[in-house]
Structure 1
Amino acid sequence: MQKETSFDEASEYAESIINTVREPLLVLDHDLRVVTASRSFYEFFKVKPEETEGQLIYNLGNDQWDIPKLRELLETILPQKTSFDNYEVEHDFATIGRHIMLLNARQIKRALGKERIILLAIEDITERKQL
């Protein structure tokens, strides 16, 4: 019972951190399905949790995230235990229009016996690139 309580507390703590960060964040499982997303992700991309969580990242927003280079990067993270920083993606999103994003991803270890997950951070650099 105590282990379950500390797991719940740790999970709540992690979720609070994710929702506090200003840049949009996605937490992906080992199959690249969205486990959860930050409040800022939902606000920025104008989507709802029920249409995001449990979906493959590539299927989000009518397959808008099915970007070949992103697919290659994400699919090498778990098998090779690596990460990537500052991968620039320019894309026309149905809900928000054309944006230039910097993507950063990290693999996160979980408790013994649990699959690793990926934390994907998304920074909108559209305005910075237009200056």
Structure 2
Amino acid sequence: MGKRGDVVGEAKATWEKKVNDLIDPTITVRTLINEGSVFAVLSLWATFATDQSFPLAAAFAYSVYKFQNKRVKRDPEGPFFGGNPIVGAILTTVIVLGACCGLLALLTTPLQALLGPSIRQASTFMVIMALGVANVYLK
């Protein structure tokens, strides 16, 4: 193919390619309804509950389960981060929750004027729905 000394291999992947590799392009309407409905119910429960901790914990547990299930179905033998698929699922869920909470920290001041005392319910609703969107679209 080439001269002696030519390096054959893959070129470095750009950051756009890396981001596109994280997103699942095969999302069907059935998947959106089945997985999205669980997060929608948890979000509505958090909106109308006086204490949002249990719906948020349930969304966290369901998200970890779904991420772990996706990883095991994609490659049953591994390699897994930390040697176990549950470790990567927990880390992915924590990263998504951290990103959502960071975004809401920036939006709290403008939303406080609109929502008043119900800011906590609205924030929990948005966090759980964002977790659901990430759960559906991330690999």
Q: TM-score, normalised by structure 2?
A: 0.29
Which structure shows the bigger proportion of residues in helix conformation?
2
* Structure showing greater Rg: 2
Which structure shows the bigger proportion of residues in strand conformation?
1
